[in-house]
């Protein structure tokens, strides 16, 4: 299984005013990501509100993105998050992903009845993965939301040699010790995709070559330059760019968290509507203040633009 190198955006799910998935936005959304240099899209994740969507809506989202990819001679790599609390539902979504042409699937830890050890979590992952034996399967590690903080090196060891289609981990956590151990395991066999945009530079320093992030949707040029400067050895510039990333990400917290990401998308020209409840929507007046704060960052050159 080929490792994915570069930036993978985690797209938002565009919503219409009535709260339904707004299908018409995906065509321009795909063009925005592709035109600005991301190499893939991680669908139906936290940013995409996968846990807030119905099974049919998650299938629709996967179908819309694959429809665009099939028209592209060099398509984005598409990873679809199918996991949740029900392995039967995840299998249904995995089979649909295979049917429509998704490149890989991802599974996260069940977050209501939680596994208490790596072996239990591995059994859950394998139960889903064996339904699509010819598809790469990633595990999505995000303990801040799932509440399952099993070290990934333990999960990888529990799966190693037992699940041939296990590809690696989308690692959205801050445990660099664990991440590095995963990178080194079995001579670097597994694909470790970094999932914290605000400390991408630190992850690059210990060996990450691919990353999945929500801010890659609207600030791709910033991170591409950060990576390029790091590779050229211009660490001072790379650090400054990472600080600009942090300053931008702090606005997410200032305006209410993950839902602010859709305000950033509106800022760069893609209207994604509002997040579903219980995420609080941004008011029109708050958006005007938000725009002033974004303008004050003085980083227009680093925001994604339609090409």
d(Cα 223, Cα 238) in Å, to the nearest integer?
A: 9
Note if 30 is an active site residue: no
Asked about 34 being catalytic, the answer comes back as no
What ranges make up the beta strands (E) of 30-155? 40-43, 77-81, 104-108, 137-141
E strands, 84-203, where?
Answer: 104-108, 137-141, 166-171, 191-194
Alpha-carbon span 291 to 305, nearest angstrom: 16
How big is the CA angle at 53 (ends 284 and 46), to the nearest 5 degrees?
A: 75
Residue located via tokens 């630190």: 202
Q: Which of 87, 140, 190, 302 is catalytic?
A: 140
Cβ neighbours of residue 209 under 8 Å, at least 6 residues apart? Answer: 3, 5, 6
Q: Are 51 and 89 in contact (CB under 8 A)?
A: no
CB 45 within 8 A of CB 10: yes
Choose the catalytic residue: 34, 59, 77, 170: 170
Give which of 173, 241, 176 is closest to 206, Cα–Cα: 176
| Active-site residue list | 140, 170
């Amino acid at each position: 299984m080929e490792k994915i190198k570069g930036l993978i955006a985690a797209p938002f799910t565009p919503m219409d005013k009535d709260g339904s998935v707004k299908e018409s936005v995906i065509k321009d959304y795909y063009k925005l990501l592709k035109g600005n240099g991301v190499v893939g899209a991680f669908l139906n994740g936290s940013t995409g509100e996968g846990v807030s969507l119905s099974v049919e809506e998650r299938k629709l989202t996967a179908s819309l993105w694959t429809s665009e990819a099939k028209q592209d001679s060099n398509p984005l790599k598409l990873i679809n998050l199918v996991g949740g609390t029900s392995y039967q539902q995840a299998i249904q979504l995995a089979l649909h992903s295979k049917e429509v042409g998704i490149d890989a699937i991802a599974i996260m830890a069940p977050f209501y009845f939680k596994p208490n050890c790596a072996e239990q979590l591995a059994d859950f992952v394998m139960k889903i993965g064996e339904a699509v034996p010819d598809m790469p399967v990633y595990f999505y590690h995000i303990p801040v939301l799932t509440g399952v903080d099993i070290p990934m090196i333990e999960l990888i060891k529990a799966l190693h040699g037992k699940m041939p289609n296990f590809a690696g981990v989308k690692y959205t956590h801050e445990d660099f010790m664990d991440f590095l151990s995963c990178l080194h395991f079995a001579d670097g066999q597994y694909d470790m995709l970094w999932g914290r945009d605000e400390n991408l530079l630190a992850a690059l320093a210990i060996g990450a070559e691919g990353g999945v992030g929500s801010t890659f949707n609207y600030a791709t040029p910033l991170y591409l330059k950060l990576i390029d400067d790091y590779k050229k050895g211009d660490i001072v510039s790379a650090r400054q760019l990472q600080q600009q990333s942090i300053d931008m990400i702090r606005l997410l917290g200032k305006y209410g968290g993950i839902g602010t990401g859709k305000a950033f998308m509106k800022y760069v020209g893609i209207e994604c509507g509002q997040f579903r409840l219980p995420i609080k929507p941004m008011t029109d007046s708050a958006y005007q203040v938000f725009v002033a704060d974004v303008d004050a960052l003085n980083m227009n050159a680093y925001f994604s633009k339609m090409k």
